Structure 1
Amino acid sequence: MSLSERKTIDLEQGWDFMHKGITKLKNILEGLPEPQFSSEDYMMLYTTIYNMCTQKPPHDYSQQLYDKYRESFEEYILSTGLSDSFGNSFILSRFSQSSPSIMSLSERKTIDLEQGWDFMHKGITKLKNILEGLPEPQFSSEDYMMLYTTIYNMCTQKPPHDYSQQLYDKYRESFEEYILSTVLPSLREKHDEFMLRELVKRWANHKIMVRWLSRFFHYLDRYFIARRSLPALNEVGLTCFRDLVYKELNWNVRDAVISLIDQEREGEQIDRALLKNVLDIFVEIGMGQMDHYENKFEAVMLKDTSAYYSRKASNWILEDSCPDYMLKAEECLKREKDRVAHYLHSSSEPKLLEKVQHELLSVYANQLLEKEHSGCHALLRDDKVEDLSRMFRLFSKTPRGLDPISSIFKQHVTTEGMALVKLAEDAASNKKPDKKDIIGLQEQVFVRKVIDLHDKYLTYVNDCFQNHTLFHKALKEAFEIFCNKGVAGSSSAELLATFCDNILKKGGSEKLSDEAIEETLEKVVKLLAYISDKDLFAEFYRKKLARRLLFDKSANDDHERSILTKLKQQCGGQFTSKMEGMVTDLTLAKENQTSFEEYLSNNTADPGIDLTVTVLTTGFWPSYKSFDLNLPVEMASALLLFNSADRLSYSEIMTQLNLSDDDVIRLLHSLSCAKYKILNKEPNTKTISSTDYFEFNSKFTDKMRRIKIPLPPVDEKKKVIEDVDKDRRYAIDASIVRIMKSRKLLGYQHLVVECVEQLGRMFKPDVKAIKKRIEDLISRDYLERDKDNANMFKYLA
C-alpha cells in the first residue's frame, strides 16, 4: 500500500497479511528456515496496523486487532509450550540488525536538536524536490521508518532533550519557508486562467506535503499535541497555506473564476474541471466550515450573476415575445443548475437560482404577463398549452409569482363566460314573442357551451397549472360570476334543471349514449357547485322529475338514480331526500302493479278495464292547484280531443266536432285568443285561420279555483319562486332557533353571521329577511330582546 494513498482495508484482508508476518516470526523462533525481517517488512507490518486503526468507522479495527494480539500469544503458547520461547531472544538482535541506519531501532542514543533536525531537514528537502519535479529517488519504507523514528526518539528523550515543542514549531516553519520561497513566487508571476492552474497544482502538492510530513511527525499528533490541546499537524499545514497563499490571492482567484463563468454564460468553452478544483480549494480551506466559500466567493458571484441577468433581461423584455422570453429564462435556469452540478458547491444552487429567477422573472413579471400580443391573455386566448405550462413552471418558483397569473386566468374565464351569457341573451331577444316564456334550444346550447368551457379550463388547471389550489380558486370564482347570471328571464338554476330534464326524458333533444349521459350529468353537478341558489335548482328539478316519473317520460331509471347520487355527494342528503323518495314511490308502485297483475292472472279475474294505481308520499311530491272549469259543451268537447293527441290542426278539430266553420272559429278563438288561453295557437295571432295548429296549454293556472272561462297561464316559475321563498322562511326560522337554543343569549350581528354561515350551503339569505324572521319569532315568543340592550336576544324555552 502506497503511503501517499489510503485505501480501506477490511479486517480479514489486513489480518491475513499480519498473520503471515506473525507466522514468520514464530518460524524464526522455532529455528525453521526463514529469511530475517528487513526494514521494509517491519514498515509494511507497522503501516498495516496503523492504517487499520485510523480508518473511519465502521472500518476502525483497533479493538479487533487488540484482541487478536492476545490471541496470537495464547495460540503460540498453547501450541508450542513455554519452555522453548525463552531461548530464542537472538531474533531481536537479528531483526534490529536488518535496518542499517544512523540510529538503530533497538538502541536509544540521545539525539541533540541540531543533529536530529539536520537529518529531518534532508528528508523534507527531498520531499520538496520530488514535489517540484526535480530528480530524486522515491521514499522507501526504510526512509520513512528512519524519519519517523528520529521524531519518535527526539520526542521521547528525557528532559532537557525532549524536543517536542521545537519540532512542532519547525514543522510549521518548514511549510512557511517552502511557501514563501517557492509557492508564492510561482503564483505571483501568473494571471487569470494560468494562475488558477498553478494554484490547483500548488494546492495538490501542498496537501501531499501535509500528508507526508504529518506521517513523519505522527508521534507529535498522538501524544504531545493531544496533551497540549494544540492544533493538529494536518490543520497546521492547511492553515499555513490559507494564511500565506489564500489570503493574498483569494481576490484575484475569485475574479478569475467569475470571469470564466461569465465567459461560459456567453457561450464560450471553458475548463469546468479547473473551476471545480479551484472552488474545492475555497471549501477545503475552510476545514469543515463554508465561511470562506460563501463570504469570499459565493457572495460576489451571486452579485455578478444578478448584474449579468439584469442586463440580459432588460434587452430580452424589449426584443422578445413572452413565449420566447420564457424559453430563454428556462434555458438559463437549466444552465445554472448544470453549473452547480459541474463545479459550484451544491449549497449554491438555491441562492443562484433565486437570483436568476428574480432578475429574469420577478422584476419583469408584469411587463411579461401583460405583453399585448403574446402575454398571458394572448396565450389563454390562443390555447398555447405548452407556453402556459412553462409559465406556471417558471413563476411557481418565485415568491407570489402565481398570483398575477391566476388573476389573469380568472379575468379571462369570466370574460369568456360573460360572452356566452350575452350570446344567449341576444339569441333570446330574437326569439318570437310567443315563445319567450319557454326555455328552448338556444338556452340548452348555452348550458352545453358553459359545460364545454368548464371542461376546457378545468383541463388547463389540472394539466398546465398542475392542479394548483390557486387556479382552482380562480376558476371557481370566475364561474360563480357568470353562472349566476340569468338568461332571457330564466335563472341559471332553472336552465340547469331544464338541461338535465332534456337529457333524462324520452325524446329529448340531447341524443347521447349511456356513457355520454353519465359524463354529462357529472359535469352538470360540477356546475351546480357554482350556483348560489341551489335550493331553486332543487325545486325546479323536482317538478320536472315528477313529470318524467308520473307520465313515464324517464328514459332510464339508472340515470335518474345516478344523478341523485351525484347531487347527494355534492350537496348533502337533505338536498335529495324528497327526490329519492319520489323515485322510491315509483319503484314501489311498479312492484305493486306487477303483483296486482299477477293476482288477476292467477285468479282469472277480469275487471274489464286496465287499472293502474300509483301511491305517492305527499311530502315528497310537488303539489299542483286544481281548477273547476265551467265550459259550454262544444268547448269541453274540443278540449277532450287533446286527451288523445298533443297537437291538432284546425281541419282535424272541425272534422271531429262536426261543427260549422263559424262555430269552430268562435270556439277556438275563445279557447286560444281570449283572456284565458286554454289552448296555445301557432302562429300566435289574434285571428283564427284554417292553417293554424293548436296544443293544450299544460301550464294553465289561475288564482280562482272555479272559473267559467279558460284562464290565461301563470308562469310556473312564479309559483316555484314563491314556494322556495316560503321554504326559505322556514329554513331561516329553524336556523335562528337552533343557534339561539345552543347560545341562549346572542347579539344581533353574531346571530346574523351564524345564520348566514349555516344556510350558505343551500342559498344566500338576505339580511333583511333574517331581521324579519327574528321579529316574527319575537312575536311568537320564541325570542325576546334583552331589557338592557335592544341588540341582544334571549332564547325562550
Structure 2
Amino acid sequence: MSDHPRKSNFTIEPFKNPVILDPGYADKTWEMLEHGIRKILNNNYDGLSFEVLHRNAYNMALHGFGEKLYSGLVTTLTRHLQEQVSASIEAAGDDQFLEELNRRWLEHDKALTVIRDLVALMDTTYVSESHKTPVLSLGLDLWRDNVIHSKEIQARLPRALLRILQRERMGEVIIRDSVKNTKTLIMYLEPSSYQKDFEKPFLDDSAIFYAGESQVLMERCHCGEYLQMVERRLREEKERASHYLDDSTEPKIISIVEEEMIAKHMRSLVHMDSGLVSMLLRDEYEDLGRMYSLLRRCAGGVSTIRDLVTSHLRETGKQLVTDAASSRNPVDLVRRLLDTKDKYDRIIAGVFGDDKTFQTAVSTSFEYFINLNSRSAEFISLYVDDTLRKASEEAGGKEDVEIVLHKVMALFRYLQEKDVFEKYHKQHLANRLLSGRAVSDDAERSLIAKLGVECGNNFTSKLEQMLTDIKFSQGIIRGFYASQGVDEEAGEGPILAAQVLTGAIWPTRPSTACKLPDEMHDVCEKFRAYYLGSHGCRKLTWQTDLGTADVAATFGNGQKHELNVSTCQMCVLVLFNSADRLSCKDIQQATAIPLPDLKRCLWSLACVPDMNVLCKNPMNDDIAEDDVFCVNDNFTSNSFQVKIDTAAAEESSESEQQEIRQKAEEVRKHQIDAAIIRVMKAQRVLNLDGLVAEVAKQLRPRVLPDPAVIKRRIESLIEREYLEDNRNQYQYIA
C-alpha cells in the first residue's frame, strides 16, 4: 500500500447557462460612457467615477459590444473636435491663435491617455482582431483631420507662425514655446505638412525679408556696421532654428541669409569706401576678420578679398619703390617695405587664418613691385649695412640684429637680381670690416649662412674668405710686432694696423696714390719685409685710400684731441708739424695725392663747420691751387675723439652703380653659358622653349635672367660651335 495520497484530476468549465443581458444594455451603458468621455474631453472630472466607467467599458468589450464602443468613441471625439476644439481655435484672435492651439492640443493629448486606459480591453481585443486603429493613434488622426486640416486653421497656421517669427526678427519679444510646441505638434502629426505648409513659406518669406533689409543696410551703414549686422542675423537664425525649428531647417535658413546678405553684395562690400582698402589702411583687423569669416561662406568670397588685397598691395608697393623721394633715402625705403611685410604677415596669421593662397598672393606682390626698381638690390644691401653699423655702436644692438636680418632675408628672396645684391653686399662688407664697424664676426657669419641657404655656397664663398682674411691679418700684425720686440699698444711712434687682403677675393676699386710720411713709410717697409719673408711668392700693394688713422693733435689753446681721419687726411695734417702755412699746390707736391682727391680732402678739413681743424685763405667753399692753409688754433670740440669724414666725389655713387651692374652682367653671361652647357650635356637635344625654361630654373637661386638674354647666349654658343641648331632643335656638340 502506497503512503502517497491519490491525485484527483478536475477542470473549470464555463457556465452551463449564458448570461442574459437586458436588450437595452449596450445603449444604456454607452450613454453613460459617452457622458463620462465628454466630461473627460472637456477637462471636467467632477462627479466622475473612473472605477464605474472602466467596469462598464470592460463589460461592453467583454460581452461583444466592441464595435459599438469603438464607433461611439470615434463619433464623440469627432463631434468634440469639430464643435468645440476647432471652433475655439478659429475664434481666437491672431495674438492668441497659437496659444489656444497648443492649449487645446495639450488637453486633447491628456484626455486621450485617460480614455485609452478606460477602454483598455477594447484596445487589446476588438481593435487588434478587427485591425482597427489603436485609440491613441485614432485620437491623433482625428485631431489632424478635424483640427489641423480644418480649412480655416490650415490657412491661418502658417501665417501665424510666419507673423510671430517676423515680429521676433523686428526685435519684439515673443513666447518661443508656442512656436516650438506648434512645430513639434506638426512634425508629430504630419512631417510632410511641416515642410510644405510651413518651411517653404518660411524660407520664401525670409528671402524677401533679408533681401529688403540688406538693401536698406547697404545704403545706410558703413561696411563694418553692415558686417556686424550680418553676423548678428546669422547668430539669431542659428539660435532660432536650434530652439524651435526642425534641425533640417537650420542649414536652409542660414544659406538664405548668406545668399541675400553676403553673396549678392559681396563685391560692393569689398570695394565700398569703408570696405577692405579702408580697413587695411586703418588697421581695422577686427572688421577684416569679420569680413573674411563671412565672405568665405560664399563661393568666390575668399578670391574676391584676395584679389583686392593683391591689387592694393601692388599699387601701394609700386608707389613706394618708384617714388623719387623714397629712393633718396634707401634705408628708410627698405624699413617701410619691412614694416609693410610685417603688417601683411600679421594680417594673414591673425585675420586670414594662415590661408596659403593669401601667403602666395602677398609673396608674388612683393616680388612684383620690389623688382620694379632696378636699385632694390643695392637698397637692401645698404639697409643691411646700416643695421650692422648701428648695432656695433648701440648698446644691446647685437640682440636685435638677428631678428632684423631674418626679416631682411624675406625681402632678399623676392629679388630677381641676387647677383647684383652680392656685389653691393661684398662692397659694404669690405667697408665694414676695414673700418672696424662690423657688429661682430658671429653676426656677419650668420648673415652669410642665411645667404648660403638661399643661393648656395658658391654665392657666399668669397664673403666667407673676406672674414677669414681679417682674422688672418690680426695674427700677422701680432707676429710682426712680436718680431720687432715692440708692444703694439704701448710702443712709441706710429703704430701700423695693416689688413692683408686676398686680391682676387675683395672688391677692386681705383686706388688713390698717396706718399706716406717718412715715419709711416719706414714702418710699412718693415712690415713688407716681415710679410714677404714668410710669404715670398706673394706681392703686396698698399691701398692707402682704404685706410684710416688716429692722429693726436694739440691746438694753440693747449686743447688736445684725437682725430680719426683717412690716410690721405693724415698725410696732409702731418705736414703742418714742420710748416705753419702751406698752399694747396705745396701740399699736392709733398703728398702726391691727385688734385681732385686732394681738394676733397682739404675741403673736409677746412670748410666743414665744427670740424675745421685747418684754416683756409681766402675763406670760401672753393679749393684753388693758390689757397693757403694753416692749423686752426681756435679749434674746439666737446668730444676728445673727433671723426672727420672725407667729402664724397661728385656722382661717384652713380658711376659705382654702373660699374657694379656692368660687372654683374658680365659675370651673368658666363653663368648663363655654363647653365646652357650643363643642360645640353644632360639632355643632348632640346627645343628652344625647353632650354630657356631649364636654364632659368637653374639660375633662379641667383638671378632671374630675361629670356631674350638667354636666347642671345644660345646664339653665341652656336657661333662658338658648342651647340648646333637643327630647325629649332638644339643639339650639344661633344
What TM-score does the superposition give when structure 2 sets the normalisation length? 0.70
Distance 1:782 1:176, change over 3 A: farther
CA distance in 1, matches of 2:588, 2:31: 138
Distance 1:664 1:279, change over 3 A: farther
2:106 is the alignment partner of 1:204: yes
Distance 1:252 1:515, change over 3 A: farther
In the TM superposition, what are the counterparts of 1:23-172 in structure 2 within 5 Å? 126=36, 129-135=39-45
In the alignment, which of 455, 473, 476 is matched to residue 363 of structure 2?
476
Distance 1:138 1:691, change over 3 A: farther
CA distance in 1, matches of 2:715, 2:20: 114
**Amino acid of the residue matched to residue 791 of structure 1?**
N
**Amino acid of the residue matched to residue 414 of structure 2?**
Y
Q: Which moved more, 1:278-287 or 1:168-177?
A: 168-177
Distance 1:626 1:170, change over 3 A: same
Q: Deviations over 1:324-373 (max 9, x none)?
A: 3333333333333332243223333332233223333333344444444x
CA contact (8 A) 2:389 2:432 kept: yes
Tell me the equivalent position of 1:578.
Answer: 461
In the TM superposition, what are the counterparts of 1:377-392 in structure 2 within 5 Å? 377-392=277-292
Tell me the equivalent position of 1:190.
Answer: 92
Q: Which moved more, 1:731-740 or 1:135-144?
A: 135-144
CA contact (8 A) 2:470 2:500 kept: no
**Amino acid of the residue matched to residue 406 of structure 1?**
R
Distance 1:727 1:633, change over 3 A: closer
Q: Deviations over 1:100-129 (max 9, x none)?
A: xxx99xx99999xx9899978976874553
Tell me the equivalent position of 1:455.
Answer: 342
CA distance in 1, matches of 2:284, 2:413: 28
Amino-acid identity (%)? 23
**Amino acid of the residue matched to residue 655 of structure 1?**
F
CA contact (8 A) 2:600 2:646 kept: yes
Task: State the secondary structure of the residue aligned to 1:346.
Answer: coil
1:451 to partner: Cα distance? 1.9
Distance 1:266 1:721, change over 3 A: same
Tell me the equivalent position of 2:633.
Answer: none
Tell me the equivalent position of 2:525.
Answer: none
In the alignment, which of 364, 379, 382 is matched to residue 265 of structure 2?
364
**Amino acid of the residue matched to residue 284 of structure 1?**
Y
Task: State the secondary structure of the residue aligned to 2:248.
Answer: helix
CA contact (8 A) 1:225 1:232 kept: yes
Tell me the equivalent position of 2:524.
Answer: none
Tell me the equivalent position of 1:504.
Answer: 388
2:154 is the alignment partner of 1:263: no
CA distance in 1, matches of 2:128, 2:578: 127
Task: State the secondary structure of the residue aligned to 1:467.
Answer: coil
Tell me the equivalent position of 2:424.
Answer: 540
In the alignment, which of 576, 586, 595 is matched to residue 664 of structure 1?
586
1:412 to partner: Cα distance? 3.8
Distance 1:681 1:613, change over 3 A: closer
2:412 is the alignment partner of 1:523: no
CA contact (8 A) 1:744 1:794 kept: yes
Q: Which moved more, 1:556-565 or 1:507-516?
A: 507-516
CA distance in 1, matches of 2:54, 2:458: 92
**Amino acid of the residue matched to residue 475 of structure 1?**
V
Q: Deviations over 1:549-597 (max 9, x none)?
A: 566542223322433454455x264476526744884698499779x97
Tell me the equivalent position of 1:724.
Answer: 664
Distance 1:634 1:132, change over 3 A: same
Task: State the secondary structure of the residue aligned to 1:192.
Answer: coil
Distance 1:301 1:670, change over 3 A: farther
The answer for unaligned runs of 5 or more in structure 1 is 1-82, 94-102, 155-160, 430-441, 701-711
CA distance in 2, matches of 1:176, 1:763: 91
Q: Deviations over 1:758-786 (max 9, x none)?
A: 54454322111222333345556665444
In the TM superposition, what are the counterparts of 1:6-21 in structure 2 within 5 Å? none
**Amino acid of the residue matched to residue 453 of structure 1?**
T
Tell me the equivalent position of 1:98.
Answer: none
CA distance in 1, matches of 2:48, 2:660: 105
Tell me the equivalent position of 1:311.
Answer: 212
Distance 1:772 1:120, change over 3 A: farther
Tell me the equivalent position of 1:652.
Answer: 573
1:254 to partner: Cα distance? 1.1
CA contact (8 A) 2:514 2:592 kept: no
The answer for unaligned runs of 5 or more in structure 2 is 489-495, 522-541, 550-564, 608-620, 631-642
Task: State the secondary structure of the residue aligned to 2:245.
Answer: coil
Distance 1:631 1:308, change over 3 A: closer
CA distance in 1, matches of 2:220, 2:102: 42
Tell me the equivalent position of 2:557.
Answer: none
CA contact (8 A) 1:539 1:720 kept: yes
Distance 1:220 1:467, change over 3 A: farther
Task: State the secondary structure of the residue aligned to 2:171.
Answer: coil
CA distance in 2, matches of 1:590, 1:714: 32
Tell me the equivalent position of 1:279.
Answer: 183
Tell me the equivalent position of 2:554.
Answer: none
Tell me the equivalent position of 2:707.
Answer: 767
In the alignment, which of 300, 303, 323 is matched to residue 400 of structure 1?
300
Tell me the equivalent position of 1:491.
Answer: 375
Alignment length (residue pairs): 652
In the alignment, which of 309, 325, 350 is matched to residue 426 of structure 1?
325
Q: CA RMSD in A?
A: 5.5
In the TM superposition, what are the counterparts of 1:744-783 in structure 2 within 5 Å? 745-778=685-718, 783=723
Q: Which has the higher contact order (CA 8 A, sep 6+)?
A: 2
Tell me the equivalent position of 2:256.
Answer: 355
Distance 1:629 1:303, change over 3 A: closer
Tell me the equivalent position of 1:254.
Answer: 158
Tell me the equivalent position of 2:246.
Answer: 345
What TM-score does the superposition give when structure 1 sets the normalisation length? 0.65
Task: State the secondary structure of the residue aligned to 2:569.
Answer: strand
CA distance in 1, matches of 2:154, 2:322: 70
In the TM superposition, what are the counterparts of 1:213-252 in structure 2 within 5 Å? 238-247=140-149, 248=151, 249-252=153-156
1:88 to partner: Cα distance? 14
Task: State the secondary structure of the residue aligned to 1:269.
Answer: coil
Distance 1:556 1:630, change over 3 A: closer
